[in-house]
């Protein structure tokens, strides 16, 4: 077991990845607090969350990385408190819902304008709100900007200054690229 840990540690240090170093610390803690098995360590190091690397392909063939807002807490927070350098121009935040409904968005504590793409179940764009202004903080006045309410399944938020967002139009069909399907995600979050 000691040789095995040493081999994994060496491999991860070569990557010089802070996430990898965190995994090393977690495995050492696991070994000291419990009797970790080789299987537990394999699961810890090899099992990646497919949603961390979810991607959506645009009609142009270009791809954006998306983070998912699945829980009510994630949906409520959205991009509040996120600075421009924490959310790149080729990224999106996909608000994932298990059924169609009224989708309303506002912009408290935001630091860059957003484009909102309202989607059907199969990720076809059914409506767009462009350049929704940001509003640093929660204080009013001035009023916190709000988007009109739209009946949709999901909502994709992207920075308004994204060249990729500018290419998207009403009626465009987006393609989900992930090892986990949209229906699998839906089955896991459905109440």
Per-residue tens of pLDDT for the chain, all 191 residues: 444 444 544 454 455 555 555 555 555 544 444 444 434 433 444 444 544 568 999 999 999 999 999 889 999 999 999 999 999 999 999 999 989 999 999 999 999 999 999 999 999 999 999 999 999 899 988 999 999 999 999 999 999 999 999 999 999 999 999 888 888 888 877 66
Q: Is the peptide bond before 121 cis (omega within 30 degrees of 0)?
A: no
Torsion of CA 125, 152, 123, 60, to 10 degrees: 20
The neighbour count for residue 122, using CB atoms within 10 Å, is: 12
- pTM for the model: 0.73
């Amino acid at each position: 077991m000691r040789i095995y840990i040493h081999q994994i540690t060496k491999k991860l240090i070569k990557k010089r990845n802070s996430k990898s170093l965190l995994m090393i610390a977690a495995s050492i803690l696991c070994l000291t607090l419990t009797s970790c098995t080789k299987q537990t360590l394999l699961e810890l190091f090899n099992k990646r969350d497919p949603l961390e690397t979810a991607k959506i392909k645009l009609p142009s063939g270009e791809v954006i990385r998306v983070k998912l807002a699945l829980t009510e807490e994630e949906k409520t927070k959205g991009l509040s408190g996120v600075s421009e350098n924490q959310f790149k121009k080729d990224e999106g935040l996909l608000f994932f819902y298990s059924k169609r409904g009224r989708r309303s968005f506002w912009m408290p504590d935001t630091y860059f304008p957003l484009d909102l793409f309202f989607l059907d179940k199969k990720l076809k764009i059914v409506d767009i709100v462009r350049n929704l202004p940001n509003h640093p903080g929660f204080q009013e006045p001035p009023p916190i900007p709000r988007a009109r309410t739209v009946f949709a399944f999901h909502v994709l938020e992207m920075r308004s200054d994204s060249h990729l967002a500018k290419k998207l139009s009403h009626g465009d069909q987006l393609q989900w690229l992930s090892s986990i399907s949209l229906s699998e995600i839906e089955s896991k979050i459905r109440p």
